[in-house]
A and B are shown apart, each in its own frame.
Chain A
Amino acid sequence: MSAHFPGLVIIIPLVAAFLILIGALLDRRLAFPLTALALLGSLLTAIGLLGKVIQTGVVEYHLAGWAPPVGIAYRVDHLNALVLVAVATVAFVNLMGTRELVKGLFEDRLGPFYTLYILLIAGLQGIVVTGDAFNLYVLLEIAALTGYALVGMSEGRAPLSSLNYIFIGTVGASLYLLGVGYLYLVTGTLNMADLAVRLPALYPSKVVVSAFVICLVGLCIKMGFFPMHAWLPNAYSHAPDPVSSLVAPLVTKVMIYVMIRMMLFVFTPAFAFDQMAISEPMVWLAIAAIVAGSFMALSTRRLKRMLTYIIVAEVGYMVGGFWLGNRLGISGAILHIVNDAIMTLCVFLSAAAIISKVGSDAIDDMQGLFKKMPVTMGVFVVAGLSIIGVPPTCGFFSKWYLISGAVAAGQYGFMAALLLSSLINLVLFFRIFEIAYFEPFHDHHGDHGHFVSAVQEAPFEMLVTLVVTAVLLFALGIYAGDIVSQIIDHAIPVGIT
């Protein structure tokens, strides 16, 4: 059984997708439990896989028994096992938390919604485990297509934003495919491990250089890396709330994972960092991403839009951290993939809870929310603190690694950008807290109100998931040392110091 784990993480959701579609035709109420069951299954599989990888090292799996390079290989090492668990966790938690919201929004389309939901997860988990460059493209498109459809499902500006998302996303994916084509042209293989063996002899070739550049640009588009981020804020902020809280934590993070995978395990660090000499410009672009994302977030007064701009900045964190090219920076980037996934989930989920109660996502409408929704706001505060980077929440620790990496690499500009972004995040979140805490103003005598009556909280299951994510933020922070030493250290090739 456990030998098939790498295959199962994709097969479970894929098969479930069909079952859900058929089940929902029979009875709409079947869609949710089926999805929950399948996602729970894949979460457990992912955790099992991570345990196995920690114990015994890399797990190889040959799809349908064909050995690579002929067949498609799924190869799970510390890096993707970790990301896989993050993806599966976010998918499952978000599913549980948004049940009521989904019911309210898509009452008549529960079957299609959950089918798309689980296909998206199948795609993302596939991207993470696959060891084949072309297979990755296909899974990328599965994830992207379901993502477009999910984003476009709501009314208002969502379809238009989704259409723009398609245009840019397709260009990104096509560029990636093109890059892979170039690699295939010179090596005759699509298997990542095989590519890594054959490529070094060909490093001087201009074809390899082109492939590298084209792939990287394609991935940067897909992950919304500044200045190719234009699609991201619209698509994520106009999407339905339960979708935003799914795609915002996952899609960009998985794309960053793909970049790390390609750079470290296909092109090898020697090529990516030393020969190409693009570390410096990439870090500067990341600085630009962080600064621009932070300031754009300051300029908006809409909650979800602000959060999407924060994502643009966070992408800068991870890309910049990776291109610092030292162990600390890369550890920080990988750790931040996990942390940011949970952080973003937490903050988008609480935003969804708030918006569903307030009926608007303008931050000026959030008056008196601490009284009205104390638990939700409490979780929102925790998520905000984590994004600001206050210990002992997890955001602090990935920032710690990223800044240490910057200091070790002598990239003080990157350090300054991270600190600036922390300060701006502080302003961003406390701006909201202030409105929710102070307004409406009232005179401070008389009102004995420590036993508040006008509580109007989000649905119970949402509250539970919110609290769980908030606890996760602390747990990830406290165990950051273990995550790094047990998992991430093994994920980074030994050559990198």
Chain B
Amino acid sequence: MESLLANFLAKYNYWAYIGLVMIGMYAMIAKRNLVKKIIGMNIVQTAVILFYVSIAAKKGKTIPIIAHGHEDTGHHAVQALDYISPLPHVLMLTAIVVSVATLGVALALAIKVYRQYGTLEEDEIAMRIEEQ
């Protein structure tokens, strides 16, 4: 029990992202409203982004900006260990753009659906389709 808790606390970032993915998935599966589903989808994407960002972190280290780099060169070399990894952040910049674009397309389609059926509730849309 003890170790489980310790395990949980030591890797809380993973549990957080797993929790977020679950929440997002739940929304996409269980909610009948299209906008809520879109929100769920976005939560899933964000959770993955957070996962990436969190794995870059190192305890007690700083952001990877080398201040006064040119003046210090003679004294001590730049130690990668002193900085958190910049690469996942860079990757996630792209992923954020992707998720925003996805959100945009999804919302645009939702508007189109709304114009057509006058509702965003899935069961009502299903009824409309039946009627046609």
A: residues with CB less than 8 A from B are 134, 137-138, 141, 145, 148-149, 152, 155, 157, 159-160, 162-163, 166-167, 170-171, 174, 177-178, 181, 184-185, 190
Contact = CB atoms under 8 A, between A and B. Distances in A.
Contact of B41 (A152, A166, A178): A166
A171 B94 contact: no
A163 B95 contact: no
Contact of B101 (A145, A160, A167): A145
A163 B107 CA distance: 9
Interface in B42-97: 44-45, 48, 51-52, 55, 88, 91, 94-95
6 contacts: A138-B94, A148-B106, A166-B106, A166-B109, A170-B41, A181-B52
Query: Looking at chain A's contact residues, is the secondary structure mostly helix, strand, loop, or mixed?
Result: helix
Most buried by A among B37, B88, B95, B125: B95
B9 interface: no
B113 interface: yes
A171 B41 contact: yes
B109 A148 contact: yes
**Best-surrounded residue of B98, B110, B112, B116 (most CB of chain A within 10 A):** B98
Contacts of A190: 91
A163 B109 contact: yes
B25 interface: yes
Given A141-B98, A160-B125, A166-B106, 18 more contacts: A141-B101, A145-B98, A145-B102, A152-B109, A160-B113, A166-B109, A167-B28, A167-B106, A170-B41, A170-B44, A170-B45, A174-B45, A177-B95, A178-B48, A181-B48, A181-B88, A184-B55, A184-B88
B16 interface: no
Contacts of B38: 167
Question: Which residue of A145, A157, A160, A171 has the most chain B CB atoms within 10 A of its CB atom?
Answer: A160
Contacts of B110: 163
Given A159-B112, A177-B48, A181-B55, A141 B28 contact: no
Contacts of B109: 148, 152, 159-160, 162-163, 166
Interface residues of B, number: 29
B129 interface: yes
Nearest to B115: A159
A141 B41 CA distance: 14
Contact of A171 (B28, B34, B91, B106): B28
A167 B129 contact: no
A157 to B, nearest CB: 7
B90 to A, nearest CB: 10
A163 B48 contact: no
A160 B112 CA distance: 8
B45 to A, nearest CB: 6
B101 A152 contact: no
A92 to B, nearest CB: 26
Nearest to A149: B105
A73 to B, nearest CB: 16
A134 B98 CA distance: 12
B30 to A, nearest CB: 13
A167 B38 CA distance: 7
Contacts of B125: 160
B25 A134 contact: no
Interface in B112-132: 112-113, 116, 125, 129
A124 B132 CA distance: 36
B44 to A, nearest CB: 5
A177 B49 CA distance: 9
Contact of B51 (A138, A157, A171, A178): A178
B55 A185 contact: yes
A163 B91 CA distance: 26
Nearest to B52: A181
A174 B113 contact: no
Complex A-B, nearest 6 residue pairs according to Cβ-Cβ distance, in ascending order? A159-B112, A141-B98, A163-B109, A152-B109, A159-B109, A159-B113
A155 B109 CA distance: 11
A157 B94 CA distance: 32
A177 B101 CA distance: 16
Given A159-B116, A185-B55, A171 B44 contact: yes
Contacts of A162: 109
B51 A141 contact: no
A426 B97 CA distance: 46
A145 B88 contact: no
A148 B105 contact: yes
Nearest to B95: A177
A69 B51 CA distance: 22
A174 B48 contact: yes
